[in-house]
Structure 1
Amino acid sequence: MHTAGYADVAKKTRPTADDSMRIASVAKAFSGATALALVQAGKLSLDSTLGRVLPQQPKAWSAVTLRQLLSHTSGVPDFLGSPKFAELYQRDPDHPAKPAALIATIADQPLAFPAGTRYAYSNSDNILVGLMIERVTGQPYAQALSTWVLRPLGLAHTSLPSAIELPAPYIHGYDWAPPAPLEDVTGGLAPGWAWASGGVVSTPADLTTFVRAYVGGKLFGSKVRAAQQDLFIPAGESGPPGPGFNSASMALFRYQTECGTVYGHTGNTVGYTQFIAASPDGTRSATVSINLQRTDKSQDQDAAVFTGLQRAELAAVCMALDGA
């Protein structure tokens, strides 16, 4: 493990592989893994539709399939862009709305495009995946995640918490916009606001175990794994893009780099930016985390930090594939 800087700037403590942190949209790989494990078990099909599993959802969305939700080709609008969601959040930011209420903020909207015809990253997709998981398992999503993914992989330090506090020890998240002082934003967003789309808390060590098992197919059989990796959509990116040329499949992204190809996911939220990836057989991996939110949309000095992050991700991938 290579580290730089501090997990806690005030106390000058160094980060470790066992420190908790918010993993942002990397949580989508966890909801994808849970759904695909249920496909393996016969409780869901990739062709399961919203109309059949969640008939209370808008009729206009009824033909959308699990496959399309996982691959961000559903056309379901992103609730994060809804004025109704903004009002809901501003009303009581410390107490997240229920997942169904998040989707209700866009329930009056049609699909942005016919399902399956194009790629558009949407946080709504994984909220709906989480609701489908709850319906077919009869368990709260956090419990189903534990049953089908966390316990089988021994991920004792990964969870979807209801409380905003991170388990100690943890990596603090920061916001920095000079000349303003560094601000600790670790408690900036209660996990329920992102739920199955981005609310999971984990550690670098657990993420390493997860991505190797997920990409290597340890949670589901070869048929489901082949279906997941059968078709990648060129230039399909998560938020933010990872190193190399990015392509998207079902809750999985392919990063074709100068050192070789890896598969994984990225994420960003208040105070954190994340990247996980593994070799095609899952035997080698790279996990890169910073405790600032930086993306390809960042400006000026923030953009330089993101460029440096992508260089670090590429270096980590090259070292992993070379066995360094």
Structure 2
Amino acid sequence: MTKRWRGAAVGTAAVGLVVVPLGVSAGYAWDMSATPASVTRTAVQPSATAEQPSPPASDEFAPLTPAVARQLDAAIRKVMKDAHVPGVIVSLSAPGKGTYERSFGVADKATGAPMTPNLNMRIGSETKTFTVTALLELVDAGKVGLDDPIGKYVSGVPNGDRITLRQLAEMRSGLFNYSEDPGFFKALTSNPRRPFTPRELLAYSFKHPVMFAPGAKFYYCNTNLILLGLVVEKASGDKLADYIQHNVIEPAGLHHTLFPTGAEFPKPHAQGYTNQTASGKTQDAADWNPSWGWAAGAMISDRDDLRTWAKVLATGTLLTPATQAQRLKVLDADNIPDSGYGLGIFNVEGWIGHNGSLPGYQSLTVYLPGPQATLVVLLNTDITYQGSEPSTLFGQAITKTVTPKHVFDLPAQPVTGH
């Protein structure tokens, strides 16, 4: 999820992460000079052992030769240096093309502990892909209908008799985003370790008038996913975390992915650095309570699980073909050129998946169907650089190198600050 506050009307980054309304300071500098502790090389499996130049742009996915791996190393280090990113984990692969897996920088600025591939990370709005998958499983089971009104399941929703579950998943409900409410901003930043309930989050939204008629346009909004999480609970009779664990995480074969019920954060994990604070100064947010994101952004995962999830999500392993086809039917995402949004999923220049952001952490998990390529990026800061999310900058740099005809790019989007 994204759309961060900047203190006035300013650019924010990639729609698709957790929206937090916060002031931003100038950030910080971090020395990313290459040392044995600053780069962990976990695997490079080129399709050929000989040094080879980069393939022409007509090749849909570049073979991950040692030469291409060096280009990727340089591109990633440049983003880290420019955007002052403490640490990042990258996994890139495609059948017959090889595998590139790296960890760069530090997981903990205080101790200098290196970023390593096995770290647990908060994944922000990638949670949306799990929540919507849960909803679509209930569609396949005949327990809910995508064109049901939300008022059938949740009372008190403005326009609840008109807004459908489909429109909520498509980000076309017209409801106000609770995380853009000044009262929510104050409550979160004054005590980022406090828990929020779903109904508390909805209350911040519902005191605002609806923004447009249901289905009229795209507007990325966390409120939509809080409502869909409540629908999953109502239709299944289970807590959302339990339903996702037993019906999404386990069937997908994920072993280090969880929906926390509080501030728990299994070790090993990276510390996360944010300036989305009451003072605007950078703080470590690892122990903050993600309940404010709930069905829209609370989950935790790691590189290997997300690499698996990328393909499960994009190919519809857990759904019927008909329901997956509905999920992937993307509509224009307004101010985001060459991209669209389906049912809780992006398609950006052919890359299918989602990004995520919440204080201290960002992620990107996408799949390119043609070459069956998977890209996972995990980093331990959400501080923007020149109005762009660092996860997007990494996505751009990596895809420019290996898929020049499919460059991942979610441009900054304007939002009124508080």
TM-score range, shorter-chain basis?
0.7 to 0.9
Structure 1 residue 318: deviation in Å? 2.8
Q: 1:309 aligns with which of 366, 375, 394?
A: 394
- Structure 1 distance, partners of 2:356, 2:342, is 16
Partner residue of 2:232 out of 133, 145, 149:
133
1:230-262 deviation per Cα after TM superposition (whole angstroms, max 9, x unaligned)? 23324465xxxxxx8322111010011xxxx22
Q: Distance in 1 between matches of 2:333 and 2:119?
A: 34
2: CA distance, partners of 1:282 / 1:318? 10
Which of the numbers 64, 89, 98 marks the counterpart of 2:163? 64
Answer 1 or 2: higher relative contact order, Cα 8 Å, separation at least 6.
2
- Superposed, which structure 2 residues align to 1:1-324 within 5 Å? 1-54=101-154, 56-89=155-188, 92-175=191-274, 183-187=283-287, 189-235=288-334, 245-256=338-349, 261-280=350-369, 283-295=372-384, 298-299=385-386, 308-315=393-400, 318=403
Deviation at 1:291, TM superposition (A): 1.1
Q: Distance in 1 between matches of 2:368 and 2:391?
A: 23
Count residues with an aligned counterpart: 302
How far residue 169 of structure 1 moved from its aligned partner, in angstroms, is 0.5
CA distance in 2, matches of 1:120, 1:308: 22
In structure 1, stretches of 5+ residues that fail to align are 238-243
Is the partner of 1:285 in helix, strand or coil? strand
Larger radius of gyration: 2
**SS of alignment partner, residue 43 of structure 1:** coil
Is contact 2:195-2:292 (8 Å) kept?
A: yes
CA shift for structure 1 position 171 = 1.7
| Residues 81-90 or 109-118, more deviating | 81-90
For the residues of structure 1 that align with 2:156 and 2:371, how far apart are their CA atoms? 37
Q: Once the two structures are superposed, what CA deviation does each residue of 1:200-220 show, in whole Å capped at 9, x if it has no partner?
A: 011111111112101111010
The alignment partner of 1:152 has SS state of: coil
SS of structure 2 residue aligned to 1:114: coil
Distance 1:162 1:305, change over 3 A: closer
Q: Which amino acid aligns with 1:74?
A: S
Cα deviation code 1:30-82 (max 9, x no counterpart): 1111111211121221112111122x223533221111011100111100112
Q: Which has the higher helix share?
A: 1
Give, in whole Å, the separation in 1 of the partners of 2:183 and 2:271: 30
Larger mean Cα displacement after TM superposition, 89-98 or 162-171: 89-98
Partners of 2:389 and 2:140 in 1: CA distance: 43
Aligned to 2:365, the other structure's residue is in SS state strand
Give the alignment's TM-score, normalised by structure 1. 0.84
The DSSP-based 3-state class of the residue aligned with 1:266 is strand
Question: Partners in 2 of 1:150 and 1:52 — Cα distance?
Answer: 27
Residues 161 and 199, structure 1, Cα contact 8 Å, conserved in 2: yes
CA distance in 2, matches of 1:181, 1:118: 35
What value does the CA root-mean-square deviation take over the aligned residues? 2.7
Is the contact made by 1:232 and 1:254 (CA closer than 8 Å) also made in structure 2?
no
CA distance in 1, matches of 2:378, 2:322: 32
What is the distance in 2 between the residues matched to 1:136 and 1:311?
Answer: 39
- Asked whether the equivalents of residues 363 and 391 of structure 2 are also in contact (C-alpha less than 8 Å), the reply is no
